[in-house]
Amino acid sequence: HCYGCGRLNEHGLHIRSAWDGDETIAVITPRPYHTAVPGYVYGGLIASLIDCHGTGSAALEAYRAAGREPGTAPALRFVTASLHVDYLRPTPLGTPLAARGRIVESKPRKVVVEIDVMADGECCAKGRVVAVLMPEHMIPRAE
């Protein structure tokens, strides 16, 4: 249901994180309505990309640490405990944005991820996400 990464949110961004070597990657292309100043991406969208890629990266790391394939049961889902974003330059609209994540701390219930958001080869924003494992009783069950 999450706006950023939820597959069940028909209006969402559908962010998908994957391993790319020792880093994680997620790529989205902002739509024309994701604008702030004409021609540039709204900062909230960049924060959403960092947020959801951070929790997605945390889940990938937890599955890897457990020796499991992503998506296998029981689900390992993470939520954001802390989100920090530094906006470095205006982010152009109409070009794919690549979020590249690095795991900087990994514990069973907490993962810290640093993320660079790239557009046309330029780093437009940097972020840091502290993600915590959701308790199993909070994870919705498929019906």
Per-residue pLDDT at 56: 95
Per-residue pLDDT at 135: 85
- The answer to whether residue 98 is domain-embedded is yes
Instruction: Report pLDDT digits (tens) over 22-43.
Output: 999 999 999 898 898 999 999 9
- The answer to whether residue 12 is domain-embedded is no
Per the structure, the complete domain to which residue 72 belongs is given by 19-136
pLDDT at 143 over 50: no
- The answer to whether residue 141 is domain-embedded is no
- The answer to whether residue 123 is domain-embedded is yes
pLDDT band at 85 (very low <50, low <70, confident <90, very high): very high
Phi/psi of residue 42, each to 5°?
-65, 130
- The answer to whether residue 28 is domain-embedded is yes
- The answer to whether residue 54 is domain-embedded is yes
Number of domains in the chain: 1
- In percent, the amount of the chain with pLDDT more than 90 equals 76
